Amino acid sequence: MLKFFFVHQIFLIAILNAIMPIADQYFLMIGDLCWHSNCLRCCDCQCTLQAQTSCFYKDGLVFCREDYVLKFSKRCGRCSSILACTDVVMRARDVAFHLQCFTCIICSIPLRPGEIFAMCENKNLYCQDFAQSPRFKLFLCERIYVFSACCEDEGISQSNRSKRMRTSFKHHQLRTMKSYFNLNHNPDAKDLKQLSQRTGLSKRVLQVWFQNARAKFRRNNTRNRDLASVSPRGNQINDIQATSEQVEYFLKIFWSN
């Protein structure tokens, strides 16, 4: 709130904007900061604020109401227009959308609370049907986040924000992990650290991926052994176990690339 002060005597008050003493009959204050009446202006549009009932002060800058709203208000992730405090919004991670903007970018189907959908790093949304189609991986080459839709009022606490459930990997990340898996199925902490640096993935994500890859490898081996035992002409399947020296040699080649 802006306040007018009557000056009964000459005050030598250093002011923020003009850095000059105040000798006027009236001056303006925001908190404990003082301005000449003509010096208090919006830093964006330069309009004077002496006739306004309120203004905004942020990071050492003064804004009129209109410019503050335009500059700092939350915006819809689809249409980029300002979200009013009375709007009902849909949320995905830290991005909010108008209810009418929360649709699949491909088929324009509205995404309802409780439905599964995918969101890219560019904030584009995709319905579950398209996200699970073979075209999806060809259509996109960036990391995908999968969510369950969450609907709430803009003024309500964000404690119910939807959580990330699954991460898809970029092609170069998969190539790196698969190449290493062919050399060593169970990397230690040092190897995970190096893989993390090469792929940009966290050690926890890498641990889960290698755990799933080992389980898949065991299932495939079991299925192949079963097929070999059933077929009278089936070729015998032998597990190939590399020696520690061979693994160390291949790892040196792998990390040097």
Q: Which residue has the higher pLDDT, 153 or 67?
A: 67
pLDDT of residue 124: 84
Tokens of 212: 């799933």
Residue 76 covered by a domain: no
Residue 79 covered by a domain: no
CA distance between the termini of the chain: 63
Q: Does one domain contain both 100 and 47? A: no
b/e burial code for range 122-141 (CB count within 10 A of at least 16 → b): eebbbbeebbeeeebeeebe
pLDDT of residue 4: 44
Can you list the positions of beta strands (E) in 44-134?
56-58, 61-63, 88-92, 95-98, 116-120, 125-127
pLDDT of residue 240: 42
Q: Judging by DSSP bridges, how do beta strands 116-120 and 95-98 pair with one another?
A: unpaired
Provide the CATH number for the domain around residue 203: 1.10.10.60
For residues 219 and 227, the answer to whether their CB atoms sit within 8 Å is no
pLDDT of residue 66: 83
Average pLDDT over residues 36-45: 77
Q: What is the pTM of this model?
A: 0.40
H/E element, 224? helix 203-230
Residue 62 pLDDT > 60: yes
pLDDT band at 212 (very low <50, low <70, confident <90, very high): confident
Digit-coded pLDDT (tens) for 91-135: 887 888 988 999 998 888 888 877 788 887 778 888 888 877 777
Provide the CATH number for the domain around residue 121: 2.10.110.10
Residue 166 covered by a domain: no
Residue 81 covered by a domain: no
Last residue of a domain, one of 141, 160, 179: 160
How many H-runs (helices) and E-runs (strands) does the chain carry? 7, 11
pLDDT band at 80 (very low <50, low <70, confident <90, very high): confident
CA 126 to CA 255: how far, in whole Å? 37
pLDDT of residue 7: 39
Average pLDDT over residues 63-87: 85
Q: How many residues does the chain have?
A: 257
Average pLDDT over residues 61-81: 85
pLDDT band at 237 (very low <50, low <70, confident <90, very high): very low
Last residue of a domain, one of 98, 132, 160: 160
Average pLDDT over residues 74-102: 86
Residue 198 covered by a domain: yes
Residue 39 covered by a domain: yes
Q: Among 50-64, 152-166, 215-229, whose mean pLDDT is lowest?
A: 152-166
CA 216 to CA 224: how far, in whole Å? 12
Digit-coded pLDDT (tens) for 242-252: 455 555 555 55
Residue 83 covered by a domain: no
Residue 68 pLDDT > 80: yes
Residue 206 covered by a domain: yes
CA 43 to CA 40: how far, in whole Å? 9
* Domain count of the fold of the chain: 3
Domain range holding 210?
A: 171-256
For residues 135 and 145, the answer to whether their CB atoms sit within 8 Å is no
pLDDT of residue 91: 84
Q: Does one domain contain both 55 and 12? A: yes
pLDDT of residue 250: 55
Q: Does one domain contain both 134 and 208? A: no
